[in-house]
Structure 1
Amino acid sequence: MELPRRSLLAAGGAMLASPALAQRNYPARPIRLIVPWLASAAADIQLRGLAQIASRHLGQPIVIENRAGASGILGAQLVANEGKGDAYLLTQMHNTAFRVAYMMQRPPYDLLNDFTYVIRLVGYSYGVVVRPDSPWRTWQDFVRHVKDNPGRVSYGTAGVGTTQHITMEQIGRAAKLDWVHVPFRGGGDDLQSLMGGNLDAVASSSLWAEMVQNGQLRLLVSFGEERIKRFPQVPTLREEGIDVAQTSPYGLVGPKGMDPGAVRVLHDALHRAMREPEHLALIERLDMPLAYLNSADYAASIPALMEEQKALVRDLGLRM
């Protein structure tokens, strides 16, 4: 499936132009930020913290609204279909929202032309966790068990087409594993199911970190380029012989047609908030690496990201 490929140069140029909206007049009321995950998700925690800090710089609150489900695309869908230039409406834009568009016959948004790309923020740390009473002390123990029990080992993720699901599909192909994917709505419900004994493992962002530290879960492998700082004893996929690395950076977008002055104000307040010690401490606790891009650079990065996700969907044969 092909999506439109019209250039983003005009959009990027608009962001660098002189603001058409006097900065002193914006924002005049609260800003809605749609978080497409449950309230306990790692991205929700990060965005709530960032929004609280940025609200102080803006002089108006950024109000979080959770719209979980549908593999995390409900925020993008709402902004694309209802925004119409509204400078008071934002959502998280993550790689799954790009990927799912290629998994659908009729995607509910146009990635190039329905959004204003405001700022790229951070990435994730992902990994596979199991219960501490499980027999698998290492990733290789777990892989051997999956191979010895084809079709009987279950793992949960935040939803179909999410980065953790895609990564597990890549692992399965590379290691010839036959396991069962159980999708959830995202935000910790998969971890609750694991703790309750209903799953064998969960592939998730680092919401599990404190539970691993407290001995409530065991981390077998991480998905990043490097080992997670808090868990230096846990190997990466590449160290385990799987040539895959994922951090899945995300940012914030608004609807198409946003006033360039509003984009400038939002970007500057969010960028300033990103660098505050309070936010840096938060993302360190969440094991989230900084992945900042300004508005123009973020917009310019989108076509390459679209091609990357399109190829991934094609190669894995994924469909909703």
Structure 2
Amino acid sequence: MAMSNEHDPSRRQLLRTLAAAVATGPAAALAARAQPGGAASGAGAETRFPLRPITLWVPWPAGGATDLTMRLLAELAGRHLGQKVVVENRAGAGGTLAMPILQQAAPDGYTIAQLPYPALRAPHIQRVLWDPIRDTTPILQISGVTFGMVVPAGSTLRSVADIIAFAKSRPGELTVSTNGAGTTPHVVMDELAARHGFSYIHVPYKGTSEQMLAVASGQVMLGINSNGFAPFVDSGRLRLLATFAEHRTKRWPNVPTLKELGHGIVATSPYGLVGPSGMAPAVVAALHEAFRAAMNDPAHVAELAKYDQEPDYLGPADYGRSLRESYAAEKRAAERLGLRPS
């Protein structure tokens, strides 16, 4: 007697596959059969991505602006992927400590990281064993950062011109804190010093809160960082002298940019997500789809706005092209400033 359709093995497998796709969402369905080494071992076998939680490495301290936005992004992306995205922090070395992790991780999509702009600069000014282009697979660009220069509220230094005049008249006395050697704030300060012929004492900090407390208490004269300084500025503990973007911020419209002050410097440090080199295209597509949806979620857009940021999306191909161009530009900048790996 002929077997009915409901007992047909191939039909049962098809139903299971369709049910799995519906249960795990479009991102998982897109990445079916995509895991490296996960080819079908028998007729009709399927391998889905992701099958377990994904680890997202954030190379900054917990509790900072970037950490908070990335944690929300991870939570939102996890809903689209059908698996948790677990954030792990590895702070220090100017935001580059996720790179050795990516270099050694399997390219299966279960280890990804935020790639901050300093990772494109570090190989040109210090010796590292990794390469931000060779050792990564671009997933998407997310946003850029609002940087600024702050001084204690009671400081007699009330402008960038005052900073430069003080540093030139009293060589070696200006103390400047940043979020680490080789970070964008450090490089911007070096470029400003080189253009105007002054020196300063660099005081690097791992965390923004620690750094801002040091500036507010007068332990250092000037602080440069992303806008984790906002609560200190808004509460009147710090004075914001300038920001580094192309245009003034909506939050502090009376604060000038370095560009409009005539210093010719624009710095926003765009950042995004990358995985290890060699990831399967379908896994990249699944991650890209989920994180693109997450970054455009109103909750994430609102979280970025708290730090004067906006989504600045690039897909895998365009983000990869942008990374290569920025990497080359940072090499030229390092050569211009006389910086060499040590």
TM-score, reference length from structure 1: 0.89
Q: Does 1:69 align with 2:78?
A: no
One of 179, 188, 193 as aligned partner of 2:200: 179
* Alignment CA distance shift 1:18-1:275 (3 Å): closer
Measured against aligned partners, the alpha-carbon deviations of 1:29-57 in whole angstroms (never above 9, x if no partner) come to 11111111111332212211211211121
Write the distance in 2 (CA, Å) between the matches of 1:19 and 1:61.
18
Q: Matches of 1:137 and 1:110 in 2, distance apart?
A: 41
Is 1:53 equivalent to 2:64 in the alignment? no
What corresponds to 2:230 in structure 1? 209
CA distance in structure 2 between the aligned counterparts of 1:19 and 1:139, rounded to whole angstroms: 55
Which segments of 5 or more consecutive residues in structure 1 lack a partner in the other structure?
A: 1-16
What is the letter of the counterpart of residue 48 of structure 1? R
Deviation for aligned residue 1:186: 3.7
* Counterparts of 1:170 and 1:19, CA distance in 2: 49
* 1:236-265 alpha-carbon deviations (Å, 9 max, x no partner): 001211011001101111111222222111
Map 1:1-320 onto structure 2 (within 5 A): 20-21=33-34, 25-80=48-103, 82-105=104-127, 107-318=128-339, 319-320=341-342
8 Å Cα contact 2:65/2:307 also seen in 1: yes
When normalised by structure 2's length, the TM-score is 0.84
CA–CA distance in 2 between the matches of 1:85 and 1:267?
15
Q: 1:317 to 1:189 in 2, by over 3 A?
A: farther
Residues 76 and 92 in structure 1, CA contact (< 8 A), matched pair in contact too: no
Quote the sequence identity (%): 37
Match of 1:14 in 2: none
Higher RCO, Cα 8 Å, sep 6+: 1
Larger Rg: 1 or 2?
A: 2
The DSSP-based 3-state class of the residue aligned with 1:177 is coil
Amino acid at match of 2:110: Y
Partner of 2:5: none
Counterpart Cα distance in 2 of 1:274 and 1:160: 29
CA distance in 1, matches of 2:133, 2:255: 38
Give how far 1:203 is off.
0.5
Contact 2:31 2:286 in 1 (8 A): no
Structure 1 equivalent of residue 43 of structure 2: none
**How many residues are matched?**
302
> How far apart in 2 are the matches of 1:223 and 1:242?
10
Distance 1:86 1:187 in 2: 33
The match for 2:17 is: none
Offset at residue 66 of structure 1 (A): 0.7
Counterpart of 1:255 in structure 2: which amino acid? P
Q: Using the alignment, how far apart are the partners of 1:287 and 1:257 within structure 2?
A: 34
Worse-matched range after superposition: 241-250 or 134-143: 134-143
CA shift, 1:224, in A, is: 0.7
Q: Distance in 2 between matches of 1:100 and 1:263?
A: 26
> How many Å separate the matches in 1 of 2:292 and 2:31?
19
Query: Cα offset for 1:218?
Result: 0.8
Alignment deviations for residues 91-149 of structure 1 (CA, whole Å, 9 cap, x no partner): 111221011011234x2212332111111110000000111111123222333222222
Q: Secondary structure at the match of 2:139?
A: strand
Give the direction of change, closer, same or farther, for the CA distance of 1:67–1:18 in structure 2 (3 Å limit). closer
3-state SS of 1:25 partner: coil
Tell me the alpha carbon deviations over residues 197-225 of structure 1, each in whole angstroms, 9 at most, x when there is no partner.
Answer: 21111100010112211112110011110
In the aligned structure 2, how far is the partner of 1:286 from the partner of 1:258?
Answer: 32
Q: Deviations over 1:285-319 (max 9, x none)?
A: 11123221101211222321121011111111224
Partner of residue 4, structure 2: none
